[in-house]
Structure 1
Amino acid sequence: MLYFAQPSYMGCRLPVTEKHPFSPDLPKIRANAMTTLEHILAGAGMSLDEQLRRSGLAHSGELNIVDFLRILESFAVEVCDESLHMSKRPLLPGTNDHVLSNLGKCRSLQDALQELAASYNFIHGGAYNRVERRDRELLYIIDDRQFPYLDDSDPTHIRFNMDCVLLYVHGVVCSLGGHGAANSLLKVQSRADNGDNSVLQAAFSHLPLRFGASSYVLHYDLAMAEQPLQWQAPLTLSSVYNQLQFHLGQSNNDSNLVSKVRGMLEQGIQSQEAVAAELGYSVATLRRKLAQSQSSFRECREQVLNQEAKTLLAQQLALEEVAQRLHFSDARSFNRAFKTWNGVTPRDYMESLSQD
């Protein structure tokens, strides 16, 4: 029996697509997840070394999340059953492309996710997927506890597979909603016992992850629910896979977010809303990501103002003019702010410059 846990949406495989260059410092798949992948491949009479070779990858003992997806890509072409022999209701080839092709006709991201859930529920004959609005979040929920898996399916492989399902659904969101929707993902839940055997640790290392949950859930910022779709042409599995790879590479590259925000402030983009929009985030997502970097928009703005203030003071400009250029209400307000930032008044700072 073949138990392959490639990213399948309750049994839909991801397609072969072009490879794209990504940062070499992407998070790596954990050793236990690598072991599970090797066992799954062995069950199909294949080896990890062979799949690495077919994907043009070297066996270095570890895989980043993008290389992992490429291994799944290489395996998928050899499977004609889109349920991958895990379901009692096998899917004919082409089922998933048919489902995806209709999503671009939806009005909003929430409509598209509801259509996606309804389509696969119909195909699999059960209410395994649903979309909810809850606590300022848009949730995509998969409850597979009653799903008709084959009787001898390995529970570990099933949960490994379902974590990959979440990657696929997020790829659909990335495709339909663009950068803003991709970055609106707030947290992820999984039924897996822990993260040791999951690909989620690598794919979403920048997000809160909860294991041992009652269902598989993607939590998005509710602000994205009514956003119009950015993808007009019919979706295909190939386009979803391309977008998923791209956005996973981008989302794990936020270590310089504070520098990006400060750079925009220095360029004259002053409002938090404008900065968030430029980065493709909602304001709430920008706040959360800055907090994860032990910073805030206010702190970034004050750092930029402080640096500009020091530059202007070094030019021996009057306090009133410096305050005006920095958009303070008056010189007294600027004086208080500068002392808070530096522990000395602007005049004391100017005097210290003349003594150097």
Structure 2
Amino acid sequence: MDVEAPLPREKSKQTYPDGFPVSLGDIKPLLDMTSIAATAETFHKYSDRDTQRGPEQEKTLPLSDYFRILWELSVALQDETIHLSSRHLMPGSTSFIMSNISASSNLEEAMRLIAKSYNLLHGGPYNRVEVRGDTLLYIIDDSQFPYMTRKEDYIHFTMECVLIYLHGILSFITSRDLRPLLRKVYTKRSRGPMNSRHMDFWTVPVRYQSGQYTLTYDLTAAQLPITINQQRLPSSREIYDHVIEMIEQSAPGTSSPLNSTDRVRQAIDLGLLDQPSVARHLGLSVATLRRRLSLEKTTFRQVVRLVLNQKSLDLMSQGVHISDIAEELGFSDFRSFIRAFKNWNGLTPTAYIKAQTKK
């Protein structure tokens, strides 16, 4: 039986960066993992907290931090299922899936290949895609899935977040926000109060007590083109970054969101220097990114120039050699960097350094 309609819940008095607080108790099996490297900073930030005592705000974390923990643990454990399945997914599984779908002509074809790829990796027919009337469905039937745990609430929470992650993947590979095309979300959880508010992420009806976990899109989504670059396939980290950004930008009432120029600056700082790569990282089409920057009275080329110039000035102030700066900023040789620097500042790097020395 399907039960629809979100439950009225008391609003949390705590403010969360993404608006979707997650109970530490709901992810206790994750936080109880031992021998996790210190580099998993977000994991260690929450793993030592006492979920039974202490102030209420110490018993929750933002949904975006939950996904940061998943990324950290996938690296630390070398398992992209985070030990959820007895059949581990080795690092590179996401890249394998991206490779499989990179030549897809549209979203429906890509969704079917994603389902087929996950079934191959997990060793069972757990994923499928169907067209029903005017809707396109991605269905996860986990009734025979080899879970490492039998904790039902934890499985429900995890699979509901898998749907968020999957929605993020589909948005990423089409370079657009798919929420306007989403029609309904299905979960196997029984209708009732929940400790976490991760399901508030969805802006469409949620059906409880379903037989599977499902995302239902309008059929018009089926023909959306796939925009990932076959020559530079996205990494698992890029997918997680996109999902995290999607969550943080979804919260109602989110204050002071970064403008497009600042978001492009951040992407360039990550080493993405061409416009298609930055647009994909931000979940936008190149045309949309160009239009948004134009509204802010700038261009992608101007933002790149400002970021690279500031980096070069910072490195010079630290005494870094010109040839090393050129390499750090991605120039083919130091002469190209010298020409660019002179174009940016009206002085060669050497002349600039001498001028600064005299001050």
User: 1:250 matched to which residue of 2?
Assistant: 249
Per-residue CA deviations over 1:155-204 (Å, capped at 9, x if unaligned) read: 33222221121122111111112224343222211112246155642432
Q: Which has the larger radius of gyration?
A: 1
Aligned residue identity for 2:31: L
- 2: CA distance between counterparts of 1:28 and 1:201? 8
- Gap change, CA 1:210 and 1:29, over 3 Å in 2: farther
Structure 1 residues 41 and 125, CA, compared in 2 at 3 Å: closer, same or farther? same
Q: What is the alpha-carbon root mean square deviation over aligned residues?
A: 3.4
Q: Is residue 26 from structure 1 mapped to residue 18 from structure 2 by the alignment?
A: yes
Residue 185 of structure 2 is matched in structure 1 by: 188
Change in Cα spacing, 1:54 to 1:43, as seen in structure 2 (3 Å) is closer
Mapping 1:216-231, distance limit 5 Å: 216-231=213-228
Letter in 1 for 2:169: V
| Cα distance change on mapping 1:227 and 1:52 into 2, 3 Å | closer
Aligned residues: 230
Partner of 1:77: helix, strand, or coil?
Answer: helix
2:22–2:196 Cα contact (<8 Å) kept: yes
Deviation per CA, 1:77-98: give whole Å up to 9, x if none.
Answer: 3212333333232223222321
How many angstroms does 1:141 deviate by?
A: 0.3
> What is the CA-CA distance between 1:39 and the residue it aligns to?
4.3
Q: Secondary structure at the match of 2:215?
A: strand
Shift of 1:252: 3.1
1:40 is aligned to 30
Q: State how far apart, in whole Å, the 2-side matches of 1:239 and 1:122 are.
A: 23
Alpha-carbon distance, 1:214 to partner: 0.7
Alignment partners' CA distance in 1, 2:21 and 2:68: 13
CA distance 1:124–1:39, shift in 2 (3 Å)? closer
| TM-score of the pair, normalised by structure 1 | 0.56
8 Å CA contact 1:129, 1:140 repeated in 2:
yes
Give how far 1:65 is off. 2.1
Could you tell me which amino acid in structure 2 is paired with residue 252 of structure 1?
A: A
C-alpha change, 1:254 and 1:170, in structure 2 (3 Å) is: farther
CA apart distance, 1:107: 0.6
Rounded Cα–Cα distance in structure 1 between residues aligned with 2:102 and 2:213: 24
Give a deviation string over 1:130-157, Cα, whole Å, max 9, x none: 111123221110000011224x542332
2:128 match: 130
Q: CA deviation at 1:44?
A: 4.0
| Alpha-carbon distance, 1:37 to partner | 1.4
Map residues 80-95 of structure 1 onto 2, 5 A cutoff. Answer: 80-95=78-93
Q: Structure 1 residues 129, 245: closer, same or farther in 2, change over 3 A?
A: same
Equivalent residues in 2 for 1:92-111 (5 A)?
A: 92-111=90-109
SS state at 2:249 partner: helix
SS at match of 1:102: helix
- Contact 1:171/1:240 (8 A) holds in 2: yes
Tell me the TM-score normalized by structure 2: 0.55
Corresponding residue of 2:76: 78
Report the Cα offset of residue 108 of structure 1: 0.4
SS in 2 for 1:235: coil
- Sequence identity (%): 30
Answering whether residue 163 of structure 2 is matched by residue 159 of structure 1, we say no
Map 1:1-356 → 2, pairs under 5 A: 26-31=18-23, 34-44=24-34, 52=42, 54=44, 60-61=57-58, 62-150=60-148, 152-194=149-191, 196-197=194-195, 200-204=198-202, 206-232=203-229, 233-253=232-252
Q: Distance in 1 between matches of 2:252 and 2:227?
A: 23
The answer to whether the 8 A contact 1:29-1:68 is kept is no
Counterpart for residue 342 of structure 2: none
Distance 1:193 1:71, change over 3 A: same
The Cα offsets for residues 317-350 of structure 1, whole Å up to 9 and x where unpaired, read as xxxxxxxxxxxxxxxxxxxxxxxxxxxxxxxxxx
